[in-house]
Amino acid sequence: MNICIIGTGYVGLVSGACFADLGHNVICIDNDKKKIKKLKKGIMPIYEPGLEELVRRNLKNGRLKLGSNIKEGVKASEIIFIAVGTPSKENGEADLTFVENVSREIARSMTSYRLIVEKSTVPVNTGEWVEHIIRVFKRNKAVPFDVASNPEFLREGSGIEDFMHPDRIVIGVKSKKARAILVELYKGLNAPIVVTDIKSAEIIKHASNSFLATKISFINAVSNICDKAGADIVEVARGVGLDRRIGKEFLRAGIGFGGSCFPKDLAAFMRISDNLGYEFGLLEEAQRINYNQKRLVVKKITDHLWNIPAKTITILGLSFKPDTDDMREAPSIDIISMLRKEGARIKVYDPEAMQKAKALFKRDVEFCADPYRAAKNSDCLVVVTEWNEFKDLDFKKIKKLMRQPIIIDGRNIYDPGRMRKLGFTYVGIGRR
């Protein structure tokens, strides 16, 4: 099939490269000409395992093309995916300006039937607005079209795997033609296809992410109880997660969730609910717990250093999760900000997110070339992102380098007994 994807962020670029690898003809469009120029040379704007190889391969075989002209993409494609950003407004609502602008350009460019598909995460009823915009702005009123919803469920760091081996494919449609096209498009993937109306598909995405965010906040709240009771959250989570009705996924206690999806989608779903006249208090509590986890880490640091001013604190991990360089809503940002306000000197290291972090923190922190330089003369080492690299450190060397051998394990990646035998003061999240 001939596909146009508008937007080359995490969702658009991964989806475009994967569709091309499945044998479709794909053109990815982005109005950032510098980004497109770099992509044509095989230079990725994001870090995602396997993406560079996938893009290079499909550019070479001609199934993947890149451009900055929406008209060109619409002309060459029957299916047009909208995968532009939907950032949060101050009140938590999704800003749909980019979606509206792109919809207008699509409408003006159509000369024959096109299927316009929402790929971006959008509030319920957005499909109706996209349809309205297309009808108003298309030049030839007789040109037929369909609008559909096909929300993405890609996790940063495993986006390609999630696309190629999804848990499910959700399709929201109004017409039999749109249904047939999208079912045919995805027939190469071995996954259940959920076909529903557009509004239900839009809600499925927000409900899914909000549920997972709530599940994380729940186990983090339980970890606080474990801290106070002297229990171990790892053992508690294992016992809870073996219940098939609950499952073990997203039951890892830590410093909370971040990224471009959970915080944004949680806030957006709360606003959607408010606008529809329903007070979703459960989500408000999940949001509050998530923020408090970051404050909890700072308190644990304070409890073990007594006075923060003039102390040197090492932060290992800056991206919001491993296997990505994404700093959006990363817990490290708030934690570093809180420690800086207390007067701490901050040293940081991350395997992939250093460049993006430098744009955020500038000279407020010391960027180090490796974990060992970051740990040198440090009073406390704080694990913020659970990169595999951090699990295999030479802790005898780390202990000799540090001024005070204190580890705050914000992701519970170390064995408390082993750390204490090595001579560290070890503090986890809800660990006995």
Please list the active-site residues: 261
DSSP-assigned letters across all residues of 337-362: HHHHHTT-EEEEE-SS-HHHHHHHHT
Cβ-Cβ contacts under 8 Å for 59 (sequence gap 6 or more): 40, 42, 65, 66
Pairing of strands 169-172, 79-82: unpaired
Describe the crossing of helices 331-341 and 354-361 by its angle, rounded to 10 degrees: 40
Distance, in Å, from the CA atom of 269 to the CA atom of 138, rounded to the nearest integer, reads 31
Q: What is the CA radius of gyration of the chain?
A: 23
Distance, in Å, from the CA atom of 432 to the CA atom of 247, rounded to the nearest integer, reads 23
Helix-, strand-, coil-residue percentages of the chain, each rounded to 5:
45, 15, 40
Cβ-Cβ contacts under 8 Å for 76 (sequence gap 6 or more): 2, 4, 25, 27
List C-alpha distances in Å: 79 to 25, 127, 237, 276. Answer: 11, 15, 44, 31
Distance, in Å, from the CA atom of 184 to the CA atom of 1, rounded to the nearest integer, reads 9
Sheet with 380-383: list strands edge to edge. Answer: 366-367, 345-349, 312-316, 380-383, 406-409, 425-427
| Helix (H) or strand (E) run with residue 79 in it | strand 79-82
Distance, in Å, from the CA atom of 383 to the CA atom of 350, rounded to the nearest integer, reads 10
DSSP-assigned letters across all residues of 159-226: HHHHHHS-S-EEEE-SSHHHHHHHHHHTTTS-S-EEEE-HHHHHHHHHHHHHHHHHHHHHHHHHHHHH
- By the 8 A CB rule, do 7 and 152 touch? no
Greatest alpha-carbon span in the chain: 76
DSSP-assigned letters across all residues of 287-329: HHHHHHHHHHHHHHHHHHHS--TT-EEEEE--SSSTT----TT
